[in-house]
Structure 1
């Protein structure tokens, strides 16, 4: 393999590279502590006077808990271990108006009157307990212990057992052991000795009789029959209990060898299965406490449960069986009064989500809302196949709330369960994030991108809809946390070239945020970090593609450009806040200092732009997401004077995948590329992510064949650097090993591979980051700046 593009850095001077930078790869890829300390993980004290957060003013090996007393301190103070211990809340629950709090201390249950500021011991239990909750009658508190639910009266302190669940098989249901199963010696002994035989037979008859009489005289008992129950919960009116039963799919896990283990031996790390595996099956059981019976939820009557996906038309020779699709269930979510419940159902093929009302007396489901997407169901607040997302009840026990991409953007809806009437609470070409109800249930608090896709602001809105009141004002990202009394807002704010700092403000529109931390080191502040331009260029299909643009000073411009491809696919990096790709951001400043033009694109599939953008890669990764990079290169040539023969590309994970597809499919556009921790064959990636976008390789091989770089390796003409951690349990090192063999067999000699024996998917060691980015810089300097 040629190594001409990995020459020593001194060669740069012979290539006429005159531009210099205050930055260097060694400088920016150090332990990030050199940049300063920045707050994270906010929480409030119960009285709303103190903010707690993770911070590091003492140059400790890791962040520690700090606090700011809003009435006294102006400088964050490290929290002592004793105080940290006192802050550990553990298991707790509040009543509806947050006037009472119950919490666990070891095996004790305590209650706290938050208005009178008094607390007392409610119970000393004999074993660990979980799942605390106030019932609709708030004098009653439920908890789980030993696989059953108990109810405690907070006034009388009386406790009763609500469920009778026994792990195992019902007595008398087991089959009698056959003669062949009796050990040889016992069989011979019973045949020879009549008295011994008669006594054993009499013992068996006595046992069977006792079991029969116990069965008719005891209260109802539900036996699990060997099933593992989880998510045991009680309805607020204490008339039903529900539970989940998981049947794991028998999938083969993969192994990742660790060649540098401390033992000196090669050890295998257990890793995920590959796409196309059998999913786990979830059943939800209902325990009717009044009728003493247990039954399971039935999904067979869901509308469209047998619908086939559109892509079957691409396989006319295959016979597709019409059958009920596999589904996953989450819930139930009980109404506050306990009289109603809803279940979220998702099809395993990712095409449907049903929000349904559960008939608690029969286990039948009535569909309230069906969202069908021939690509896949996802988006902010929608959740994934295992559940989650925005879903719940209003206090009236009549309206439910949820998010949906029905209009093409993730918005908040109310639905009247009695009438079926659905009402959008938000609308427009923007996304809604993390809505929640105020303590008094009169308002929604939510974050949206209404101002701009690159900004996040915190709003308040009446519970049944109306004008949204914008509460934050700082440009960038505002991660807001309300104080317990909802009078103050703590905000983690950042801007494009300003890392996260802590602010606090009154909870009202127009309030002035007060800055509480100044975490940047003097060393970090000494460099003028760029505020990249946000631009939109036109793609070949007419779409306006957002990007971050870094322009060098005209006197330093070298005519070359580098395009950065962010990872994760569904992630946003074109925004006005501090990027999670902060190392890459600093590297882009270094490149710009050296005269490069740098473009960072939110290509098709990126987050923040609605459903159509999110699903633009369905069944073809390396389709529109790749053509957006090509169109970005054309934009640099036509609008910013970049030399069409001097364009490089790089990225990690999904960005590494796109880099490979770019060099293999568009060598006329990209002269060089660095593919970091890249997927090379989607049939080898995980199920949860890949099956959403490409279905499964068994059912949709066309999608995998046209989306996997390994099938296009013969197209490599430019210079390729592959870099990968050998302990990567996300995108396995096997991916690039297989690609390397393919390149060898194709006789390609214009590529190099750098391996990192101690690194997982996300690098940790500064030495690894430094080595990797030295190689990337050397690749671009020696291939894009030479004649």
Structure 2
């Protein structure tokens, strides 16, 4: 009887299970499989048709090998349809393109040719584009001329115009990348003989006079050609024609001399031979130089713009103006290496003699009437960004705004994508961190008067000017550092109208007529989907914060459903957003995964990229790690990942908190987080591990080497082991240059502290990583061998670059991480 009851019970369970699928049980094999099969593919690459009736996007609901282009007609049944090849070919690219002033015409480049699209809707929608060029050479960067009668474009580093009415093609510049050959000078003997011959023979004198007259007549009848200018091997960049057609501006870039490029060997190849992959130079390598020129067509002159008058052009950074006492290098014969506690440096920064710094001039950005031109200038050392008015006639520069940062100027600063002129054609808008957060400013280019339009402890992350130039559309994180919303604000500032309502991240693509929002939205435990929000219920309705004409605004409509049933069957955690006090009084934001049955063990995840945010309310780009954290929590682990010092979204001081010392405050933030877990979450202080990739791998190494009693085990994935081996663009901002600021590099590089290792360390690295080179791990391996360390291992992945691709590689890596924590915590 007992067996019968048991059997019936089993039958009952099976019957219920057949009706309601059981929750998915997470395994490393499952969560690291191909995401499009296991999770589904989120929509991406959102763009609108020019009549604002159709949304186009990349999607893959059929789990094909690659994404396809889909469309949704917003006024119809809103069903996603796959776009056919014919229609796809006629569409403009998802990004790029230039409108005329009335937004009735659009210019764009596609596959090296130029097209013109009439955006006025007809009976059958927007007309097909008109192809303007069909050549072997590539035409690019098309813009309308000042009178909008011509298309100005670049071909082979030179500017051309194409008249839209007559089809006349005109070459505007004649920039030759070669070197002008000096004419040979006749010798004294040759000069005397020629003079003597002409003096002796009348027939020679008559023929010469006839030839000279003919050449004069021939030259008089020739059409005017653009001035030929030899660049002497320098590369032409960003040629621009002024709206009035008089001036051409361009940059000439001279390639770095003697810059050695690293090589990454690839061992698993189709050829069966080891093949070398070209990688990059290392920080501190010689870099290119740039000069900015103005071609005055009316005067037929080409002259460089002098940068000597730029305010502070010779200013040295603070670190280079001070001299500190050098600290001796640890004895290289000491097999133990430097102790964890001792500072490591071979010298302090050497004092420099002030010289004119190298700069790059970007632009100009012209007012529509061609009266004003503004250039955005950045110093190569990234300590300064200037916004200056350019007088093309005199080539003089006038300062409008200077942003100086002794660390480095933010990438959110002014650029062509976040700057421009308002309707009055005298007011220039831009982003600046002048008050410590990225905010929107305007400056009058005539008077220099500046106005701050937004203010507060939040960041303006994107800015777009409305078609009528009366409003700004802004993306900010003012509701919470972990949320992104879309706003509208008058160009004079004042109230910001919040247009998005869903908690999380709202990545908005505004329709061309500015009446609809295509929103790529996600939440912490909900991957990205496409939503539609109508800003107007009727053509004359005005947008308000929450209501239209007294009625509640309709919610956004979800247009895509991308997730697989298997993925949805698991109850994905909504990690708690917590705040943690740092030792210096600052507040650290984190995401906490709390298990139902805690086992006293904890894992800290350290996000990568340095300047990146992960303690937020949207679907993380670290979605595999997010799933792994759910798996760990199922096993009883408490998991925490924090936005440590230098993470994005928290303003200038947080961003630059690692200047001249990576592995300083960014590491102590993680240590403070570990201690917070012990104090508030009941975690055993001896059973805490951490892991992370790239910058997260670097922090893991620094933690295991310099604070070995805090973390019992760590997994460093594709880690930087020595910052002197990383690239220039990222590293030099934070640590300056290794030969000028050796102290910064030696106290920031894990390889100098390897002797401190006590806990168990796993290192995983792709062997064809062209970002953080596999050489980093090889050098650290040799260091650990010489130090006679035994509690570490390296897992190498022969076909993986910095970001892994193959599911089997992900599976192997995370099985090793899980094994490390299961055995060592």
Which residue of structure 1 lines up, in the alignment, with residue 446 of structure 2? 418
Structure 2, unmatched stretches of 5+, are 1-22, 188-207, 326-349, 536-542, 547-552
Which residue of structure 1 lines up, in the alignment, with residue 3 of structure 2? none
- In the aligned structure 2, how far is the partner of 1:209 from the partner of 1:146? 35
- For residues 61-113 of structure 1, what are the alpha-carbon distances to aligned partners after superposition, in whole Å with 9 as ceiling and x for unaligned? 11111111222234312112222112245985421111233567887865636
Q: Is the 8 A contact 2:460 2:475 kept in 1?
A: yes
Corresponding position: 1:254 with 2:262: yes
Pairing 1:178-197 to 2, within 5 Å after superposition: none
Which residue of structure 1 lines up, in the alignment, with residue 662 of structure 2? 621
Corresponding position: 1:237 with 2:244: yes
Distance of aligned partners of 1:381 and 1:494 in 2 relative to their CA distance in 1, 3 Å threshold: farther
Q: Is the 8 A contact 1:714 1:746 kept in 2?
A: yes
Q: How far is the alpha carbon of 1:244 from its aligned partner?
A: 1.5
Corresponding position: 1:134 with 2:144: yes
Which residue of structure 1 lines up, in the alignment, with residue 803 of structure 2? 762
Distance of aligned partners of 1:655 and 1:463 in 2 relative to their CA distance in 1, 3 Å threshold: same
Q: Is the 8 A contact 2:697 2:716 kept in 1?
A: yes
Distance of aligned partners of 1:125 and 1:591 in 2 relative to their CA distance in 1, 3 Å threshold: closer
Q: Which 10-residue stretch deviates more, 258-267 or 706-715?
A: 258-267
Corresponding position: 1:305 with 2:313: yes
Distance of aligned partners of 1:516 and 1:782 in 2 relative to their CA distance in 1, 3 Å threshold: same
Which residue of structure 1 lines up, in the alignment, with residue 279 of structure 2? 271
Q: Is the 8 A contact 2:113 2:140 kept in 1?
A: no
Corresponding position: 1:149 with 2:177: no
Which residue of structure 2 lines up, in the alignment, with residue 515 of structure 1? 558
Distance of aligned partners of 1:782 and 1:21 in 2 relative to their CA distance in 1, 3 Å threshold: farther
- In the aligned structure 2, how far is the partner of 1:370 from the partner of 1:212? 54
Q: How far is the alpha carbon of 1:391 from its aligned partner?
A: 2.2
Distance of aligned partners of 1:175 and 1:714 in 2 relative to their CA distance in 1, 3 Å threshold: farther
Distance of aligned partners of 1:41 and 1:104 in 2 relative to their CA distance in 1, 3 Å threshold: closer
| SS of 1:298 mapped into structure 2 | coil
Distance of aligned partners of 1:21 and 1:88 in 2 relative to their CA distance in 1, 3 Å threshold: closer
Corresponding position: 1:85 with 2:89: yes
Q: How far is the alpha carbon of 1:323 from its aligned partner?
A: 1.1
| SS of 2:629 mapped into structure 1 | helix
- In the aligned structure 1, how far is the partner of 2:574 from the partner of 2:533? 26
Which residue of structure 2 lines up, in the alignment, with residue 97 of structure 1? 102
Corresponding position: 1:329 with 2:336: no
Q: How many residues align?
A: 732
- In the aligned structure 2, how far is the partner of 1:750 from the partner of 1:457? 47
- In the aligned structure 2, how far is the partner of 1:111 from the partner of 1:636? 59
Q: Which 10-residue stretch deviates more, 460-469 or 446-455?
A: 460-469
- For residues 19-61 of structure 1, what are the alpha-carbon distances to aligned partners after superposition, in whole Å with 9 as ceiling and x for unaligned? x992111111111111123111111112222111111121201
Which residue of structure 2 lines up, in the alignment, with residue 441 of structure 1? 469
Q: Among 28, 33, 46, which residue is 1:30 paired with?
A: 33
Distance of aligned partners of 1:481 and 1:377 in 2 relative to their CA distance in 1, 3 Å threshold: same
Pairing 1:234-633 to 2, within 5 Å after superposition: 234-250=241-257, 251-316=259-324, 318-382=350-414, 390-507=418-535, 508=543, 509-510=545-546, 511=553, 512-553=555-596, 556-633=597-674
Q: Among 167, 171, 182, which residue is 1:173 paired with?
A: 182
Q: Is the 8 A contact 2:407 2:656 kept in 1?
A: yes
Q: How far is the alpha carbon of 1:122 from its aligned partner?
A: 9.3
Q: Is the 8 A contact 1:135 1:236 kept in 2?
A: yes
- In the aligned structure 2, how far is the partner of 1:120 from the partner of 1:577? 38
Q: How far is the alpha carbon of 1:175 from its aligned partner?
A: 4.5
Q: How far is the alpha carbon of 1:233 from its aligned partner?
A: 1.6
| SS of 1:772 mapped into structure 2 | helix
Corresponding position: 1:652 with 2:693: yes
- In the aligned structure 2, how far is the partner of 1:639 from the partner of 1:673? 22
Q: How far is the alpha carbon of 1:465 from its aligned partner?
A: 1.4
| SS of 2:747 mapped into structure 1 | helix
Corresponding position: 1:732 with 2:740: no
Q: How far is the alpha carbon of 1:121 from its aligned partner?
A: 6.4
- In the aligned structure 2, how far is the partner of 1:103 from the partner of 1:769? 40
| SS of 1:707 mapped into structure 2 | coil
Structure 1, unmatched stretches of 5+, are 1-19, 179-204
Distance of aligned partners of 1:343 and 1:175 in 2 relative to their CA distance in 1, 3 Å threshold: farther
Which residue of structure 2 lines up, in the alignment, with residue 9 of structure 1? none
| SS of 1:629 mapped into structure 2 | helix
- In the aligned structure 1, how far is the partner of 2:419 from the partner of 2:163? 29
Which residue of structure 1 lines up, in the alignment, with residue 194 of structure 2? none
- In the aligned structure 2, how far is the partner of 1:609 from the partner of 1:126? 48
Which residue of structure 1 lines up, in the alignment, with residue 12 of structure 2? none
Which residue of structure 2 lines up, in the alignment, with residue 49 of structure 1? 53
Distance of aligned partners of 1:735 and 1:174 in 2 relative to their CA distance in 1, 3 Å threshold: farther
Q: Is the 8 A contact 1:655 1:676 kept in 2?
A: yes
Q: Which 10-residue stretch deviates more, 456-465 or 133-142?
A: 133-142
- In the aligned structure 2, how far is the partner of 1:211 from the partner of 1:673? 85
- In the aligned structure 2, how far is the partner of 1:96 from the partner of 1:286? 26
Distance of aligned partners of 1:369 and 1:529 in 2 relative to their CA distance in 1, 3 Å threshold: same
